[in-house]
Structure 1
């Protein structure tokens, strides 16, 4: 079994949350939802949505799934085209 290089681990941890956050912001804007609207829909606060969209936090997969559900998109839409 091969280990994932430390540099690759750092790269993924730094880039994937930002890319997912950008997609969440994109689909939120298509729906014309505010951060507050979206936060209310999933039982969270606006600041948390802001942090997700900016890639400042690493949300759980269940939170990402809730966001996809609230945005009425397949979960895969938030992950597609993300290169590792």
Structure 2
């Protein structure tokens, strides 16, 4: 019986390859915040009651709110910061 045992490292590697939003020790603050904003926007667009609530609260149409949220998913926190070469 060939019982393959996964170590913690291989399980974590599989998790990162399967789910792009999972973070690791090398994740920077900008990446983490970007993932949080994208997840929140996607959740609002994907749940009609939240989507309707936001449209009413902003005084906009549902289509306009959906458009703005999907546009904001491209760069939710602005352009990435410049990396210094040390």
TM-score, normalising length: structure 1: 0.36
- Structure number with greater Rg is 2
| Larger RCO, structures 1/2 (Cα 8 Å, 6+ apart) | 1
